[in-house]
A and B are shown apart, each in its own frame.
Chain A
Amino acid sequence: MQKSWRDSALLAYALAILAFLYLPLLILALYSFNDSRINAVWSGFTFRWYASLLNNQRVIEALTNSLIIATISTLVTTTLGTMAALALNRYKYKFKGVINGLLYLPILIPEIVMGLSLLVLFSQTGIALGKGTLVVAHITFCISFVIITVGARLEGMRKDLEQAASDLYATPWQTFRYITFPLALPGIIAGALMSFTLSIDDFIISFFVAGPNSTTLPLYIYAMVKRGISPEINALSTCMMCATISLIVISQLLQPQHKSAKK
């Protein structure tokens, strides 16, 4: 393929946006070495925050809670959401317009309203607050994102492949497993990524439905604001970034060299 100036311009533009996304992270990483508890201005270089991070049981517990809750809620949300998106796309429902509209509501309702109303619901029905209520709340506000994203993918999908499959006597399950699912997979993964991202950084809803001893990382950080967020958090974020990027690189290297057949 000939590379036109358009392709180069596009690439440059995309890289610029990527730089825009990562610039604050670079600053964060830099300031994780700042010798100042309040971390307002640069005061000198130190490693002590990384050291104190390893000893900070509470923040590691908060991080673990966040990751576990995000993983569980992503799994459930993606499953429920994909099923719903499939059904909405394939079948005619009487009140389809209404259902579609209702899907936007969980995102429209401000988080503080959702958090408080969920808290009222839990307390009136006697459900104890804790990690479970956090997972429930996270699933609730993530489902719509998954349904909408997977729905967009399904809408753009060509129906003729499924048609061909059923013409060739494939059962509905086989059609789903070998045709629909692989074709929809990028949409499902996109939905899962969104759900994970939303869950891992939620704090307002989490604040209201968390119980004693189920602090998540965003809650921990948010509450730290009054006394100033210590560079320990910068150190933690830098470690998280490096860990994730390393995982990506490693998984790329682990891949076999042959190309998988494209659709």
Chain B
Amino acid sequence: MKKTSYVVVTLLACLVLLITGCGNSGSKSADKATQNGKEKQVLNLFSWADNFSPEVLAAFEKKYNCKINYDVFANNEELLAKIQAGGAQYDVIQPSDYMISTMTKLNLLEKLDKSKLPNTANIVKSLQTPAFDPKGEYSVVYTWGMTGIVYNTKYVKQAPTSWQDLWNSDYKGRVILLNDSREVFGMGLKKHGYSNNSTNKAELDEAYADLKALAPSVLAYDTDTIKQKFIAEEAWIGMMWSGDAYFTQKDNPNIAFVIPKEGTVIWADTFAIPKGAKHKELAEKFINFMYDPKISAQNYEYIGYNDPNEKAREFHAKEFLDNKILKLAVDKVAQGEWLKDIGEAITQYDKYWTELKTIK
């Protein structure tokens, strides 16, 4: 009968799956893995995808005889929503800068015991006590960068120097803005010389008026596939993070990156430990491990972002240290302003952002 052959085939397929599944997956339990009767600790890591060198992770697992469960999220707000709604069981999380200030206000983070994290003293001084965590109590900077203007030298003949250059009518329909209301409005505010954390309605109105004028020229608002748009040369000019610009340039040598004179957003991804983490000690060991100079060098060359670890410089390859884009961020770090949680004003930002999106 027709049905029998379907059943047979499906069962065969299931069998194959079960075999590969059992063969491949390590431990099924999220808490403890046993090996030869000895309990193996587990570290639940919740971070961006591909944010660590696999070799570095393996080295940690070997050194401390544990297993790292590396779960991933795609943006900060999802991380917050998940931790806020409760029930998340992670030991180490990686919120970005502004998210740290929000999470501390919402009391979602454990205070870090710096005595357990001696290697973090290796971090560049200015990044040890950033504006979003003035006493460095809740977070440690992992990767950092700045937002700037990325452009394709084939189509953009004059190197941009100011955010105003995005409004140049030559680039109509080829402009990309980040799909992030704080970044875009921050840029609009900075262009007028205001703080990108401004809650002053008059200042916001000015920024909004400018952005409204730019909206018809925008090809797309994109944070996720912006690299691809520039590599494929769909876009000619736009806002981009320095780390992304480094990768884009590798695939398309026509790409260049500048930090506009008005200043910009400086951002960082950090390590933090959520309140109630089950494996706090192991989490602290992990964070400390990441800032060992040799480990840092290996890690950051894999992920391609700026290394905040001063002591790691001697272990880095020369071409990594000399890369123009990464170096640019280091040189211009004084022009960056951290994004802070703006409390109630976020509602006004969101309203303007929604209106901006409805403009054809």
Contacts and interface: CB of A to CB of B under 8 A. Distances in A.
A7 to B, nearest CB: 25
A61 B70 CA distance: 12
Dominant secondary structure of chain B at its interface with chain A: mixed
Given A222-B74, A254-B9, A64 B21 contact: yes
Contact of B232 (A41, A60, A68, A211): A41
Dominant secondary structure of chain A at its interface with chain B: helix
A114 B49 CA distance: 24
B21 A68 contact: yes
Contacts of B227: 38, 40, 228
B30 interface: yes
Contacts of B2: 255-256, 260
Contacts of B21: 61, 64, 68
Contacts of A212: 30, 44, 46, 69, 71, 89-90
Contacts of B20: 60, 64
Contacts, number: 123
Contact of A223 (B26, B72, B89): B72
Given A116-B85, A122-B87, A212-B71, A40 B9 contact: no
B346 interface: no
Interface in B294-350: none
Interface string B222-256: 00110111011000000000000001000100000
Nearest to A185: B3
Interface in B179-194: none
Contact of A60 (B13, B24, B90): B24
Interface residues of A, number: 48
B95 to A, nearest CB: 14
Interface string A215-229: 100011011111110
Interface of B: 1-2, 5-6, 8-9, 13-14, 17, 20-21, 24-30, 44, 46, 48-50, 69-74, 78, 81-82, 85-90, 224-225, 227-229, 231-232, 247, 251
Closest 10 interchain pairs by CB?
Answer: A123-B87, A123-B86, A223-B72, A40-B228, A64-B21, A40-B231, A254-B5, A223-B49, A119-B85, A212-B30
